Amino acid sequence: MRSAPSVAPAAHDALYAPQAVRPLGTALWDACRRQARARLDDLAQRIRPVATWDDLVLPEAQRETLRAIGLQVRQRATVYGRWGFAERSNRGLGISALFAGASGTGKTMAAEVLANELALDLYKIDLSQVVSKYIGETEKNLRRVFDAAEEGGAILLFDEADAIFGKRSEVKDSHDRYANIEVSYLLQRMEAYTGLAILTTNMKSALDTAFLRRIRFVVHFPFPDAAERAAIWERIFPPQTPAQGLQPARLAQLNVAGGNIRNIALAAAFLAAEEAAPVTMAHILHAARGEYTKIEKTLTNEEVRGWM
């Protein structure tokens, strides 16, 4: 993870920093992570991973793929190094994944779960901000991100992949040619990156199938059905939140994704706190109306049938 000159400061940090008593191996690992953050903190948004497998509501097939991603990250040193796969070929050794699905379906949460399980830092890079209209600037921005991330082996989460990763354009002028070079450069760095690189998109159909073949894992995040929405509602409020009379099956009638459910639950909690009262179905109804207005969607009678 770190070069030799950085080992001593990391060891000192682990041994002498004032923190709770932990196993030495864990303390050293966390100290190395902190030492490696300086460069990347200036280039991307670090997300503190708090989500766990229990928080993630997804079909079993998608959960199994996520587990396979974590397994390959954990065992890459064994397979590539000790078992000699890296000696056969130095191409395609990077672990890359595409998370595809509508907004609010759990893509970022899934990245959090992996970072939490693997004890790695998670950095979110907005590709729409990295992409530049000036020729050569996009590659320069991506190079800075990958070079900084190599030191710490962080998980890189590239948001809005369609900003750069769309179907290869027909080359009509120099700008089209350089746009294709940008995509090729991103793929090249992802394949060579020693950590895990994740791309997210709301529009998988907009991506070039030739590029999709070079991504090792593709995980589709479906819109949650009623049973999955009920499961999200059952775990959306922290245990210490006072609640009264909440009915997850009724709440699941709201036809929205997990991200919207979280927004509604949070708004309802604030309404209840203002009244010094437990969260009730009435608070959630009020909050749901506000969320639906925000997303320009009509709250139907069917969605709130039997609530009151």
Q: Which of 119, 131, 108 is nearest to 29 (CA)?
A: 119
Q: Are residues 18 and 88 in the same domain?
A: no
CATH number of the domain bearing residue 184: 3.40.50.300
Question: Residue 59: its pLDDT value, please?
Answer: 96
Number of domains within the chain? 3
At 237, give phi and psi (nearest 5°). Answer: -95, 135
| Per-residue DSSP letter, 216 | S
Q: Are residues 150 and 11 in the same domain?
A: no
CATH number of the domain bearing residue 232: 1.10.8.60
Q: Are residues 282 and 248 in the same domain?
A: yes
Percentage of the chain lying above the pLDDT 70 cut: 78
pLDDT at 117 over 60: yes
Q: Are residues 189 and 93 in the same domain?
A: yes
| pLDDT tens sequence across 216-247 | 999 999 999 999 999 999 999 999 999 999 99
Q: Are residues 51 and 184 in the same domain?
A: yes
Q: Are residues 137 and 251 in the same domain?
A: no
Higher pLDDT, 289 or 28: 289
Provide the 10 A C-beta neighbour count for residue 11: 16
Q: Which domain holds residue 69?
A: 43-221
Question: Across residues 143-161, what is the average pLDDT?
Answer: 85
pLDDT at 168 over 60: no
pLDDT at 9 over 80: no
Higher pLDDT, 81 or 63: 63
Q: Are residues 48 and 141 in the same domain?
A: yes
Q: Are residues 81 and 191 in the same domain?
A: yes
The domain boundary, picked from 156, 191, 221, lies at 221
Q: Are residues 85 and 231 in the same domain?
A: no
Q: Are residues 271 and 136 in the same domain?
A: no
Q: Are residues 287 and 217 in the same domain?
A: no
Structure tokens that stand for 216 in this block: 């090792």
Contact 272, 283 (CB under 8 A): yes
Cα 188 versus chain centre, distance? 21
Classify strands 122-126 and 45-47 as parallel, antiparallel or unpaired. Answer: antiparallel
Q: How confident is the model at residue 2 (pLDDT cuts 50, 70, 90)?
A: very low
Contact 193, 156 (CB under 8 A): yes
Q: How confident is the model at residue 178 (pLDDT cuts 50, 70, 90)?
A: very low
Q: Are residues 139 and 207 in the same domain?
A: yes
What pTM does this model have? Answer: 0.82
pLDDT at 74 over 80: yes
Alpha-helical (H) ranges within the chain are 4-16, 24-41, 60-76, 85-88, 107-118, 127-130, 137-150, 162-165, 174-192, 209-212, 226-236, 248-251, 258-274, 281-294
